[in-house]
């Protein structure tokens, strides 16, 4: 039995790592969609995290536990610099602005020889164990679930459902949006770094607009009712193409169909459980 499991894990390790990394990316997207912002710059921050971590390991010989947090931190710092102008945009304008940000980062990566140009960086030690990768997903998901159970989650939902009313109630809408964008950027950076160390290569094409859409679709499929919904979406949409590998030509079509069906039939996503946020039920009377 244990042989079977070991065999299974070895055969599917790439897919399993991809599931975990996509889950992190879905959580990153969840952070911004939960506040109702169509912020699609995750691939940019992911690229920053991936390249930063890859450069630190391959060129400066830094250990994993330094380079990965450094990647997330650099993504966070870049987000801190850019968050003010980005938050001036909303709706589709924010979507366009943040997509542009992702493309700018990708073009920078292609044009910097240090970063390997269009070929990217390869030969990154694949030193990130899968258990650590999954532990990261669990810890991040647990933190987000706790946060969404608290008053912060309530404020986030208020901002998403009615920004003006939230403001009138004294919710600091700007601060909530700021926190969500920064959290999203740091998580995307972390996911990028984790991807670099589990796949062993980083290429500019990993961070294209298509990836943005894929990340967005995880959360659209899973719904914003809970961070767990985002993970569900990531798991399904990562495994589905693998399960359907015999129909490889129809893969993207089936993916698209799945999303269309969910949006039509279950507009709030697949994950049905809404977060219950009241701690003080016992305090009644």
Choose between 148 and 262: whose C-beta lies nearer to another protein: 148
5 Cβ contact list (under 8 Å, min separation 6): none
Choose between 88 and 131: whose C-beta lies nearer to another protein: 88
CA distance 26 to 235: 10
Q: Give the number of other Cβ atoms within 10 Å of residue 207's Cβ.
A: 28
Q: Give the number of other Cβ atoms within 10 Å of residue 264's Cβ.
A: 8
- Closest distance between another protein and the C-beta of residue 213, in Å? 26
Region at 76 (left for phi over 0; alpha for psi -120 to 50; beta for the rest)? alpha
- Closest distance between another protein and the C-beta of residue 155, in Å? 6
Q: Locate tokens 């079977």: which residue?
A: 4
- Closest distance between another protein and the C-beta of residue 172, in Å? 6
Choose between 265 and 278: whose C-beta lies nearer to another protein: 278
- Closest distance between another protein and the C-beta of residue 280, in Å? 3
Choose between 88 and 285: whose C-beta lies nearer to another protein: 285
- Closest distance between another protein and the C-beta of residue 182, in Å? 11
Nearest to 87 by CA among 98, 103, 74, 73: 98
Choose between 29 and 176: whose C-beta lies nearer to another protein: 176
- Closest distance between another protein and the C-beta of residue 158, in Å? 5
Q: Which helix (H) or strand (E) holds 17?
A: helix 13-33
* Residue 1, SS3 per DSSP: coil
Q: Would you mind telling me the total number of residues written for the chain in this entry? A: 285
Where in 11-157 does DSSP place strands (E)? none
Where does this chain bind another protein (CB under 8 A)?
146-147, 150-155, 157-158, 161-162, 164-176, 179, 274, 277-281, 283-285
Choose between 81 and 168: whose C-beta lies nearer to another protein: 168
Choose between 59 and 151: whose C-beta lies nearer to another protein: 151
- Closest distance between another protein and the C-beta of residue 224, in Å? 10
Do residues 56 and 49 lie in contact, with contact meaning Cβ atoms separated by under 8 Å?
no
Nearest to 144 by CA among 13, 265, 30, 257: 30
Do residues 184 and 32 lie in contact, with contact meaning Cβ atoms separated by under 8 Å?
yes
């Amino acid at each position: 039995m244990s042989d079977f499991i070991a065999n299974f894990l070895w055969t599917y390790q790439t897919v399993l790592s991809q599931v975990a990394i996509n889950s992190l990316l879905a959580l990153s997207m969840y952070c911004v969609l939960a506040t109702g912002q169509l912020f699609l710059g995750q691939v940019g921050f992911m690229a920053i995290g991936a390249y930063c971590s890859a450069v630190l390991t391959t060129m400066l010989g830094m250990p994993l536990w330094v380079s990965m947090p450094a990647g997330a931190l650099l993504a966070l710092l870049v987000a801190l610099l850019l968050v003010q102008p980005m938050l001036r945009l909303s709706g589709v304008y924010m979507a366009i602005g943040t997509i542009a940000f992702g493309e700018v980062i990708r073009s920078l990566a292609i044009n910097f020889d240090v970063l390997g140009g269009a070929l990217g960086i390869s030969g990154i030690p694949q030193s990130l164990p899968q258990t650590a990768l999954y532990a990261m997903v669990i810890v991040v998901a647990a933190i987000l679930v706790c946060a969404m159970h608290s008053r912060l989650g309530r404020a986030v939902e208020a901002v998403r459902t009615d920004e003006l009313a939230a403001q009138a109630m004294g919710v600091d809408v700007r601060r909530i949006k700021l926190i969500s964008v920064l959290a999203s950027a740091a998580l995307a950076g972390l996911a990028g770094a984790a991807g670099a160390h589990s796949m062993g290569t980083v290429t500019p094409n990993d961070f294209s607009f298509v990836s943005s859409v894929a990340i967005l679709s995880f959360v659209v499929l899973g719904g914003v009712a809970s961070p767990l919904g985002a993970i569900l979406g990531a798991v399904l949409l990562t495994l589905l193409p693998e399960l359907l590998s015999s129909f490889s030509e129809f893969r993207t079509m089936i993916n698209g169909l799945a999303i269309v069906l969910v949006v039509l039939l279950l507009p709030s996503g697949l994950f049905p459980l809404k977060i219950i946020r009241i701690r003080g039920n016992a305090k009644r009377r």
